[in-house]
Amino acid sequence: MTLQEMINESNRIVFFGGAGVSTESGIPDFRSEDGLYRQKYDVPPEVMLSADYFFSHTENFYRFYREKMLPLEAQPNAAHKKLAELEEKGKLLAVVTQNIDGLHQKAGSKNVFELHGSVYRNHCRRCGKFFSAEQIAKSTGVPRCECGGIVKPDVVLYGEPLDGDTIDGAIRAISHADMLIVAGTSLTVYPAAGFVQCFEGKYLVLINRDPTPLDSRCDLVLHGKVGEILSQIQV
């Protein structure tokens, strides 16, 4: 069966995505040849994006974060737009994403579970006051609240737990789906990568440029660009 035929037959589709969904919007992923983790820094990016590093080297964290993790100009690509269209037509239940770039919402998706949080939500660690991504981008040094507290992005850093409600919502959607499309992810980071195991529906599809550990268990594997592939889909 083709991807189009599977989508035609399904009306409880869930999409599980990673950084590869945003590369066609100009945001590098992490582990590809040109990914963020392949770029040379004194301190490895995986270390700089850890909770320990945030609390022990906050100024250095923010220097890296502002430079590399705030793609506020990026626009949704064909993948984000097609998913928003599928949701609008009542065929897609939810998007579950590991991305923190907000592009699914920018494309119009409403039911989005952001497993690793979002750069668009930032809070003072002392009083809880909200700060926008733009305020963080414009700040210098360590962004502080008027109360003196340090502002932290609502992004799941290495060593931090995922949000319980987000996990519940994502797992409920995946276990209720009749079709799961997994795309743009190396499926190497847990617990996120483990959630796809909750799928019990009819069609398990993988759309990824490189092979993943899930390939052998899928009904359909498409090795290509997810934006290009989804742009061909008629809703």
- Residues 35-94 close enough to bind ligand APR by CB under 6 A: 35
Q: Which of 15, 18, 48, 122 binds ligand APR (CB under 6 A)?
A: 18
Look up 116 and say whether it is catalytic: yes
Q: Is 208 in the site for ligand APR (CB under 6 A)?
A: yes
- Contacts of residue 216, defined as CB under 8 A and 6 or more positions apart, other chains included, come to none
* Interactions with ligand APR, residue window 91-150 (CB under 6 A): 98, 116
Sequence-ordered list of residues with C-beta below 8 angstroms from that of 178, at least 6 positions apart, any chain: 10, 11, 12, 13, 201, 202, 203
The residue among 48 and 226 lying less far from ligand APR, judged by its C-beta, is 226
Which range in 2-10, 57-65, 118-126, 201-209 contacts ligand APR by CB under 6 A?
A: 201-209
Q: Work out how close the CB of 214 gets to ligand APR at its nearest, in angstroms, rounded to a whole number.
A: 11
Least distance from ligand APR to the Cβ atom of residue 5, Å: 21
Q: Which of 116, 123, 176, 223 is catalytic?
A: 116
Nearest in space to 226 (alpha carbons), one of 189, 185, 190: 185
Residue whose structure tokens are 């002392």: 126
Residue with tokens 């550990």: 213
Binding residue for ligand APR, selected from 10, 25, 109, 186, defined by CB under 6 A: 186
Number of residues located near ligand APR, criterion CB under 6 A: 24
Distance in angstroms (rounded) separating the CA atoms of residues 65 and 46: 12
196 contributes a contact to ligand APR by CB under 6 A: no
DSSP string of 36-72, one letter each residue:
GGGS--SS-HHHHTBHHHHHHSHHHHHHHHHHHS--T
Shorter beta-carbon distance to ligand APR: residue 25 or 124: 25
Adjacency order of strands within the sheet including 203-207: 112-114, 92-97, 13-17, 179-183, 203-207, 220-222
Closer residue to ligand APR in complex, CB, 114/124: 114
Q: From the CB of 158, what's the least distance to ligand APR, in Å?
A: 7
Give the N- to C-terminal CA distance of the chain in Å, as an integer. Answer: 17
3-class DSSP assignment, residue 222: strand
Residue numbers of the site for ligand APR (CB under 6 A)? 18-20, 23-24, 29-32, 35, 98, 116, 184-186, 188-189, 207-210, 225-227
Residues carrying an active site annotation: 116
